[in-house]
A and B are shown apart, each in its own frame.
Chain A
Amino acid sequence: MTDVTGVAAVEEIRAEVLRALEMAATEEQLEDLRVAYLGRRGKLTQILRSLGSITPEVRRETGAAANELKEVFEEKLAARRKVLADKKLAALSGQEKIDVTLPGRPYLRGGLHPTTRIIREILDTFVSMGFAIAEGPEVEWDRYNFESLNIPKDHPARDIWDTLWVDYTDDSGYRPMLLRTHTSPMQARIMETVNPPVRVVVPGKCYRYEATDATHEWHFYQIEGLAVDEGITFGNLKGTLYEFAQRMFGEERKIRFRCDYFPFVEPGVDMSIDCFQCDGDGCRICSHTGWIEIMGAGMVHPNVLSSAGYDSSVYTGFAFGMGPERIAMLKYGIDDIRNFYSNDLRFLREVGD
């Protein structure tokens, strides 16, 4: 501590501090300086703190000088800090250079199965049209899979659905249990448990006793749809499926409805879209017809409604069923359905992206 007081003391400090600021070469030295002069016990702080014990005349002069020095010091300190910081930054670009062309640290990426992806996409369009989603059993009774759908035992239409049967024979010599050949048994199951109106879509696995090739699998998914109420018409069937097809395949697609036969609907419908590969001129994808079949549909057969306990003179409805793999094949350009469940990760990753 110096014994010089008053303005002289301030001026002494000024000379000292300004020199020291110039000399300081690091952030740490600057901080030390700040503490030495402006810290709790700093030189300048002490002068400011001792002002109360001196005469008013000297106090004013000394106070003014000390405060002015404080401001100058703070200003210079900040300026000096900036100079040092800039110097440091300038040095960085030379010292801490990395090879930005090296690969980044990998993060894990998973993927959905293409079937999951397409089913979500299909269900979303129907959910937005007011359909609820339901699921049902894959191991079914003949009663639900066939009989309640207007396909009695020994009906020739059963040839459409080659069936995998559960190894169990009942007393009458029939096998009553099977792997469902379509999601349609859920039509009966739903109508048995819910009163109209009904508007529901059912995704799920189905099975057929069938040799596999590029377009046939014995294990596949289906999405079933059912809408029943007073006043549901064939025009509504067209309207709903038209909406679906346009959302799924684009607004420029043409849609065709032709007569087809399924025992559980009357009238029966086959819906096709015009081939997006050849725009209807005919190519391999559309078997040179210009049209690609997307799904079967129709007005729910009165026998199906009444066997589920609905009054078929009051309620009408439509049902439809489609194969999501087939739709995925068309949308993503997959040429072999066997790719889906052989689980080659290269395929799943490529299509799942």
Chain B
Amino acid sequence: MDVPLSWLRQYVPVDILPIDLAHHITMAGTEVVGIRHTGEDWDRTKIVVGHVQKVDPHPNADRLSLPTVDLGEGETVTVVCGAPNIAVGQKIAFAREGALLFSPRSDKKEPLKATTIRGTLSTGMICSEIELGLSENHEGVLVLEDDAPTGVPLVDYLGDAVFELELTPNRPDCSSILGVAHEVAAVTGEFVTEPDLSYEETGESIKERITVDIVDSSLCGRYAASLVTGIDVKPSPKWLQKILVKAGQRPINNVVDVTNFVMLEYGQPLHAFDLSKIKDETIVVRPARSGEHLTTLDGTSRTLHPPMLTIADSENAIALAGVMGGIETEVRKETTDVLLEAANFDPINTRRTAASLRLKTEASYRFERGIRPDLVTRALRRATQLILEVAGGKVAKGIIDQYPCRQDPIILGITSSRIKQVIGTAFDRNEVLTVLNSLGFDQVVDESSEDSLAVRVPYWRSDIAIEEDLIEEVARIVGYDVIPTVPMSTPIPHRTVQPMIEFKEKVRDLLVGVGLQETISYPLEDALTLDSVQHKQNKMKRIKIANPLNAGVSYLRDTLRGSVLKTLKSNRRISQRESIRIFEIGRIYLSKGDEKGVVLPEEKEMLVGVLSGPQSEQSWHARTREMNFFDAKGVLETVFGALGIVAEYEELEDPSLHPGKAAEVFVGGQSVGIVGEIHPLVLNHFGLDDGSVAMFDVDLKELQTSISKSTKTYAGIIRFPESERDMALIVESLVPSSKIQKIIMRHKLVKSTSPVDVYTGEGVPKGKKSVAYRIVFQSTRSTLTAELLNRAEGDILRQLQSEVGAELRI
């Protein structure tokens, strides 16, 4: 909403600087996002209104003239002028020597110098719009209205500031100059003078001629009309055009301009119909018939459906109520009689109509925010008065005012105890009343009591319904900044902990600790990406977005793998050889819909990481190698170790993972995720080169549950020394290491064991592998002797021989 200061001043005095006013009303809730100034840089003494007394020809140049200008208080000056439009009697903008003006020649502001032009000295200048910075126009001098007072600073006459307001949806009243004037009055302590609404009715009675019928009063609570006959439709007078342009409207003709002017003035949309086009001079406010056509003012033919509300004549729809008029009944040059409409339409129906036709207008904006029906007749009378003023004609006697849903004025009470309870500070009753009065709330003495102050909500406010609304009115005008700032002193409530929240943070820290970078990506994906990394068990219905921003983000992801692979790909574009280790902790969304009804999806916290590229940057210390399955597994093992989790890994077939290089991860017998290398076809789908990309994909909920089941207890330190032995074995290639380890671990003296060498090739029979294990022995009761150790090794070897056919490698 653009609010010119000059227009605002017609209703409320403003004696403070525009920037200060902007600050005050912003603090009170109506944000001024910008101020456009005109004339703030015009020197008050050097640029003034002049009156052209006579225009003599220049003795030495046909194109130049020598106008003599009255500058008031008996001062006249004669200057050289090159403009063809200069004429005696004009009011013009005169700049004295030294005035700072925009120079089209140098493209910047320069002080005006006295110059001799073709032998005649000129010590001033009659300005065109470009020199004043008003427009690019320098075709002729700027001609002011005849009422411009001679000698006054131009800035006082023509200068202005336009406030750009960003309105909140609850304040349709501020989409009017008067509404803003009331805000201004409240913050400055001034008073609003509303327009006089009187005019002479000299025509026939409107009721004799016009019939109005509201068919559905739930969609139209009030409909009023006036009639002006014998008018002359032409361009508006300059003052009206100027003020509309400043407020951001395009002037059309005097009648339409008046309806726009009054809409901006009161916030009440109006419409003018050409009466001669209304069949039977009858207005029917009715829902559209199904499939009914109407060509709106923008020239678009629209198909309507109930319950869209129309204004119809005895036969057809002639306007879309509250949204836009029809082209058929538009006021044109040849129109002589206009029927003026001001009405109150249902906000929801207007909103739905505008939305379904994609036709948001100034009118629909105001109606859907719920303006008050009290505005209807005021705005109608104001528009009637102005049409009479600018288009002539006769006003019919009376107005039509159908008001089936009469709304009584709203009266609300406000108590000091409630103010104290909500704000924390007590307010003086008089202070409360003063603030409310300044906003236009009147006290209703009959209904007030010692505790409670009863006030009537002003006719333009549609956002005040409960006591808290009044409290806000008081607080915002008094100023939030003056309300004392107090720390909370109520007891801290008992905190219930969602264990997953802390768990996620712990996992994040651990992953960062082993060198992984966290990423976060969009949870919406395209179906193809999701399909390409489909889990083996996931075959549920995906959740689709009805209005995605684009096709690439139309499904909620049911796997995090695609997101992380995409991140890998986008970074591979930047660096082909870099070592990349990333992880994301995010949700996947699994549909739980069944036949009984739809329920919200399950949102599962997942952890996915990928490792790709060299294990380390190439350096002088060592040759590097590509990361693979075991790097990803190592990350998991480190994280699990820190969390006190013991996991088991079993071979896995997963369509998106490399056959033979994938494992399912189990904790306490429960599957918690996978680790593996990505299937080459999947890499291909993501545009990733061949080469290994290792991934882990873990269900954090399962993982977190598995920890809380096994609380770790401190075992104590054993004081007897450990002994290490290495055992090299030859076994069938297919025997998993985990199985051998399990057998070794079964011996009661074994503290731990891990493979220290795995070898196939020369010296090892085909189909077999050589595996060496380091075994750490320890007893809780004594230092182990060589004899005991030898016996233990023998026992273990026998078990390995019988269970997996292992032989000692010699």
Contacts and interface: CB of A to CB of B under 8 A. Distances in A.
A227 B290 CA distance: 51
A344 interface: yes
Interface string A296-323: 0001011000000000000010000000
Q: For the side of the interface on B, what is the size category?
A: 35 or more
Nearest to A166: B543
Nearest to A262: B168
A39 B728 CA distance: 40
Interface string B482-493: 011111111111
A258 B26 contact: yes
Contacts of A154: 347-348, 351-352
Given A139-B601, A235-B484, A260-B29, A133 B493 contact: no
Contacts of A252: none
Given A164-B547, A235-B425, A346-B574, A138 B523 contact: yes
26 contacts: A120-B505, A130-B493, A138-B587, A141-B600, A164-B547, A165-B547, A197-B491, A198-B493, A209-B549, A219-B522, A219-B523, A233-B423, A234-B475, A235-B424, A235-B483, A236-B486, A236-B487, A239-B486, A259-B475, A266-B472, A267-B476, A268-B29, A316-B422, A341-B522, A343-B567, A345-B582
Given A113-B518, A343-B567, A232 B603 contact: no
Nearest to A269: B480
A229 B421 CA distance: 11
Interface string A150-165: 0000111101100011
A147 interface: no
B523 A231 contact: no
A165 B513 contact: no
Interface in B2-26: 26
Interface residues of A, number: 92
Contacts of A159: 169
B134 interface: no
Contacts of A167: 543-546
Interface string B25-43: 0111101010000000000
Given A120-B505, A134-B498, A258-B480, A344 B574 contact: yes
B616 A156 contact: no
A156 B351 CA distance: 8
Interface stretch (B76-84, B141-149, B463-471, B696-704): B463-471
A340 interface: yes
Contacts of A140: 600
Interface string A96-111: 0000001101111111
A292 interface: no
A199 B493 contact: yes
A316 to B, nearest CB: 6
A170 B546 CA distance: 13
A164 to B, nearest CB: 6
A41 interface: no
A240 B488 contact: yes
A240 B425 CA distance: 16
A134 to B, nearest CB: 6
The 8 closest A-B pairs by CB, nearest first: A108-B515, A233-B424, A235-B424, A259-B29, A267-B472, A130-B492, A261-B168, A259-B476
Q: Which of A115, A194, A233, A287 has the most CB of B within 10 A?
A: A233
A112 B508 contact: yes
A179 interface: yes
Nearest to B475: A267
B497 A132 contact: yes
Nearest to A133: B501
Contacts of B547: 164-165, 209
Given A108-B581, A345-B580, A231 B490 contact: yes
Contacts, number: 243
Q: Is the interface of A mostly helix, strand, loop or mixed?
A: mixed
A341 B523 CA distance: 11
Nearest to B171: A261
A113 B504 CA distance: 13
Interface stretch (B105-113, B208-216, B617-625): B617-625
B777 interface: no
Nearest to B598: A168
Contact of B495 (A132, A211, A269): A132
A299 B422 contact: yes
A146 to B, nearest CB: 13
A302 B598 contact: no
Given A110-B515, A259-B28, A233 B556 contact: no
A280 interface: no
B646 interface: no
A256 interface: yes
Nearest to B468: A266
B355 to A, nearest CB: 9
B511 interface: yes
Given A120-B505, A130-B493, A267-B472, A340 B520 contact: yes
B362 to A, nearest CB: 14
B620 A238 contact: no
A160 B168 CA distance: 9
Contacts of A232: 488, 490
A236 B422 CA distance: 10
Given A133-B501, A266-B468, A110 B548 contact: no
Given A132-B495, A302-B468, 15 more contacts: A105-B621, A106-B619, A108-B514, A110-B516, A113-B518, A115-B520, A154-B351, A205-B523, A219-B523, A233-B424, A235-B485, A266-B466, A287-B33, A299-B468, A301-B468
